[in-house]
Amino acid sequence: MKIVAVTACPVGIAHTYMAAENLQKAGEKLGVDIKVETQGSIGVENALTDEDIEEADGVIIASDKEVTKERFIGKRLIATGVQEGIKRPEELINRFATEDVPVYQADLMSANDVKKKKKEKENPIYRHLMSGVSYMIPFIVVGGLLIALALTLGGEQTPGGIVIPEDSFWKKVEEIGAASFSFMVPILAGFIAVSIADRPGLAPGIIGGFIAANGSFYGSEAGAGFIGGIIAGFLAGYITLAIKKIKVPQAIQPVMPIIFIPILATLAVGLLFVYVVGAPVAQVFESLTAWLEGMQGASSILLALILGAMISIDMGGPFNKVAFLFGSAMIAEGNYEIMGPIAVAICIPPLGMGLATFMNKRKYQPAEQQAGKASFTMGLFGITEGAIPFAAQDPLRVIPSIMIGSMTSSVIAMIGNVGDRVAHGGPIVAVLGAVDNVLMFFVAAIIGTIVTAFMVNFLKKDVSGTHKGNNASPKRAEEDASSKTTEITKLTDIVTNDLIHLDLQGNTKEEVLDELIASMKQAGVVLDAEAYKQVVIAREHEGTTGMGMSIAIPHGKSEAVKEPAVAFGMHRAGVDWESLDGNPAKLIFMIAVPTERAGDDHLKILQMLSRKLMDDNYREKLLHVTTKDEAHRLLMEIQ
């Protein structure tokens, strides 16, 4: 018999690996071929393949969080809590031989249905709008770059500006670019409608967008522009959706999506635009365009500040996309000086964080220094997301720094009349000739990058060297600095005899925590005992670290921790730790990790402990040690 399993827990990873270890051991004992996928904080490990699932006679999901079951359709499946996987693994496996385990197939959704359901939770208006924008952007990029290329290589300076001769080859290139621009609004409207009503909405949306962009239908010289395109798209989508819901005779149903729905929806959208919507929207858009073009002095600087802040605050998120859409829409109307400041602001977060890692390596771990190189490269190509790893790890220092840098560069670009003819950003667009006033583009980009780099390095603390409040000797300080980059391969790399306590005296959880923290403070591992204790207590409030089987693994990640360490304590009588199996904790492992190394060391230590402590014989030996050296030798086996 072959079984596949998935283990997961909502907080931490210890229970995930404990359940996986016990299921694997139970499978070996019962002679059952079992493969276990773990879904812990570190991500999915030992992932089940389609072949594994196909060959399996049954599936066990031991999890306290939601695990997608769609891939197990048609398989006998047991879904239970992670504690059952830890305490009763043999019973779970034996159920496939002794019971009629039901096949999972009720109320099932395909993978596409799952994705669709997730999307439905998003704001529908925003989702439909972004769908249209994603299809529109290639037309702006193609049109903008072709026109920029034609002007750069084929343009001639005249008193009225750069002009391409009518009989020139480059005039044809410019016309192709202009043709690409002419599709922008219809494509925007068409794919907004498709997002709402599926393919029947495409024709009404595109035709409605074309009418919106051509004011001749309703007596306007300028047309309703991108605002009209958005309105046309939503009108076409919801009108099509309404027509689709009309009940018709079965004989007519096959031709409804090809003939009746597109014709009726197109007529409705077109006539509404010609007689009701078009002229008022065109007037609004003409006024908006005139207002933006007329912005001078303080008002234009305020706009630049807002756009710079929106671009950088979420690095590719909703605020960033709204500002980007605004700039792209202005390109379509011939106003390039809105996209110019946006194009500069786009590259500042990744360039700034990349430069920061080059300027002061003491502020960043080796992995961050490598990420800095990638971030800088991404910035050159206008990929704002390059700064996300830094912002995710230290948002309070990084996000304000990149915002100030982006806002600074945006204002300089606005004052310097920097324009951008392409819906993209970064030095790449300047190199390709899509930018007006290239010199000021680079001035703005360089200043913004430097502002971000200096600000973030000023706010960040060193991650190596001597720490404030450290009374250790210079020799010890050197050892501390080097230990921060030491690879942890076994538990005794970070456990010394000073951190081993074979007779804890505390009678409560908090008293035991105080004992272990005090030993870490005395050993120079923890700089601020109270600050570290608050982190550990906060973790206990999220959920007990009492794992059952007389084990507790309290842990905390804090800037008060100087280097990764584990303190091991034994309480002969046991102390109440609110363990899930109700047993008192006798073996207590306290993990302390610096914030900047939490992602690597914290998870690695938890994995090592969780796997080894599932061995009954090992726990029994540990409970009977009498000397620190004996305990240390046993702890060397945890790796």
* Rounded Cα distance, 32 and 185, in Å: 61
Whether 404 and 458 have beta carbons less than 8 Å apart is answered as no
* Rounded Cα distance, 192 and 133, in Å: 8
The catalytic residue among 555, 571, 602, 632 is 555
Is 347 among the catalytic positions? no
* Rounded Cα distance, 244 and 248, in Å: 10
Which tokens hold the place of 435? 């930018």
Secondary structure element (H or E) that encloses residue 3, with its range: strand 2-8
* Rounded Cα distance, 379 and 387, in Å: 9
* Rounded Cα distance, 609 and 611, in Å: 6
Which tokens hold the place of 444? 């703005």
SS3 555: strand
* Rounded Cα distance, 353 and 383, in Å: 13
* Rounded Cα distance, 440 and 19, in Å: 60
Query: Measured on CA atoms in the order 181, 182, 187, 192, is the torsion positive or negative?
Result: positive
- 3-state SS of 180-202? HHHCHHHHHHHHHHHHHHCHHHH
* Rounded Cα distance, 393 and 599, in Å: 9
* Rounded Cα distance, 208 and 204, in Å: 6
Is 9 among the catalytic positions? yes
Cite the DSSP H helix spans in 499-596.
Answer: 509-522, 529-542
Q: Smallest Cα–Cα separation from 135: which of 191, 182, 200, 209?
A: 191
* Rounded Cα distance, 53 and 393, in Å: 36
In the block, tokens 């270890």 appear at 21
Whether 364 and 463 have beta carbons less than 8 Å apart is answered as yes
Q: What are the distances in angstroms from CA 25 to CA 61, 517, 552, 615?
A: 16, 34, 22, 9
SS3 429: helix
* Rounded Cα distance, 253 and 255, in Å: 6
Angle at 299 between CA 295 and CA 303, to 5 degrees: 95
Q: Smallest Cα–Cα separation from 315: which of 215, 207, 389?
A: 389
Cite the DSSP H helix spans in 365-437.
Answer: 366-380, 388-393, 395-415, 427-431
Contacts of 284 (CB under 8 A, 6+ apart): 227
Secondary structure element (H or E) that encloses residue 132, with its range: helix 124-154
* Phi, then psi, of 576 in degrees rounded to 5: -65, 120
* Phi, then psi, of 76 in degrees rounded to 5: -65, 130
Q: What are the distances in angstroms from CA 164 to CA 139, 170, 172, 259?
A: 22, 7, 10, 45
The catalytic residue among 9, 467, 602, 632 is 9
Contacts of 579 (CB under 8 A, 6+ apart): 544, 546, 547, 548, 551, 552, 585
Paired with 45 in beta bridges are 38
Whether 206 and 163 have beta carbons less than 8 Å apart is answered as no
Residues designated as active site: 9, 555
